[in-house]
A = this chain, B = another copy of it.
């Protein structure tokens, strides 16, 4: 059975047409400076005319590159989807490609698998989504292989690797202020997964503002929901049963906030009159529940672009990594919808 594919145009054909050597064509492909204007144009025209596309395998093999960026994540989901979209977009602009790799952070085999991937594919950089941003083993492998790495919303802040995120602490603080401004004093909080960096930051933001205003944080109103709906449901039920329940609940993400809404409904509470609920992330579900969630919008696509940009800009790696790149913080946005209102009475 023969190969049915049409034959591909090679760099040599372009070179012949433009009457230069293939090396010179290679130069314009790689945007190397030393090519005369006229020559470049002639080559560009030839490329156009033949509709030439360089073969990535060949380019990679010869130059020991891959034009591939890895996006390592824990689980698929909204956040990943959105992030991926932003990253792919940026990649396209520079003829890079994105390889999304889900890892089970808990598996004992990650190390080996990451190794395989790095060495087989020769990734030019890796973006780590939480909670992988703080996975010691993966970070270790990456460092060992000297792969440029950008961590998204990391927990620790070792100065040796750049990261992109928002100021979760300030955002949570702002949100808490919103609740306090409405008049709430009895506020519950649902924490996220302990291994996410954002979890602690958001909680700190909450307590910062409560303390600053002199409002006590009741420990039985602080629960941990691991960022998932079902856990959020349980947390909400624990908070809401009994007479002395909070008048507002701040969930660390929207999935859990949606759970609070469900739980409140089941108990027959009227929202937001009897209970205000706020989330974090502005996930799709934020506008698919009623009342719609007041939340914090993270500029996920922009973060993805920024992270991808960092890697592309410093590629090929020979140019050195890391540079003195500070943690990059993008702006969040407080989005007021109708899940919040003044407390009843």
Contacts and interface: CB of A to CB of B under 8 A. Distances in A.
A258 B258 CA distance: 12
Given A6-B144, A61-B58, A81-B80, A97 B119 contact: no
Contacts of A6: 144-146
Given A97-B99, A145-B5, A288 B289 contact: yes
B229 A319 contact: no
Contact of A290 (B2, B4, B262): B262
A146 B5 contact: yes
Given A56-B120, A57-B57, A261 B290 contact: yes
19 contacts: A3-B317, A5-B317, A61-B61, A76-B82, A76-B84, A76-B85, A78-B78, A80-B81, A92-B113, A95-B120, A97-B121, A98-B100, A100-B100, A262-B290, A265-B290, A285-B285, A285-B288, A288-B289, A289-B289
Interface of A: 1-6, 8, 51, 53-58, 60-61, 64, 66, 75-78, 80-82, 84-85, 88, 92, 95, 97-102, 113, 115-116, 119-122, 144-147, 229, 255, 258-259, 261-262, 265-266, 284-285, 287-290, 317-320
